[in-house]
Amino acid sequence: MDDNKFRQIINISQDCVFWKDKERRFEGVNQAFLDFYGFKSDAILIGRTDEDMGWHSDPVPFMQDELRVLAGERTYKVAGKCEIRGRERDIIASKSPMYENGKVTGLIGSFRDVTDVVKHDLLTAANTVYTRE
């Protein structure tokens, strides 16, 4: 598949999609990712890690997940938090290794902002009345 088709396909997703090299440095992102962070282009993050960007108050779980993925594992709908424009957001993320000639060359991942869902669930639980019946 040529790069133009790949970009068209990946940019139709409403999930934030990214891909990284073996050192966990960004190689590219889709339009939803750019929109989420308010970036005009991916130039600001290419070659940088999550830690370089300062997106996580606790970056260790994200780093550990990515190291496991680079060792050949996959993650699916892992809950986490990230900083976006000075506000903490709840996300769920999935990641998978990328292979070339049978060797892991990086990872691809996606995440979705679930902050509103989490808040709704918390409010619903707080307003639930329990009885003994």
For residue 19, how many other CB atoms are within 10 A of its CB? 19
The reported pLDDT for the residue numbered 118 is: 53
Give strand pairing partners of 24.
Answer: none
The reported pLDDT for the residue numbered 32 is: 95
Residue closest to 98 by CA, chosen among 89, 85, 109 = 109
How buried is 27 (Cβ within 10 angstroms: 0-12 exposed, 13-18 middle, 19+ buried)? middle
Using one digit for the tens of pLDDT, what is the confidence trace for 33-70?
999 999 999 999 999 999 999 988 889 999 999 999 99
Using one digit for the tens of pLDDT, what is the confidence trace for 1-22?
678 887 888 788 889 999 999 9
Residue closest to 29 by CA, chosen among 12, 47, 11 = 11
The reported pLDDT for the residue numbered 41 is: 95
The reported pLDDT for the residue numbered 25 is: 98
The reported pLDDT for the residue numbered 85 is: 82
Percent of all residues in the chain with a pLDDT value above 90, rounded to a whole number: 63
pTM above 0.85, yes or no: no
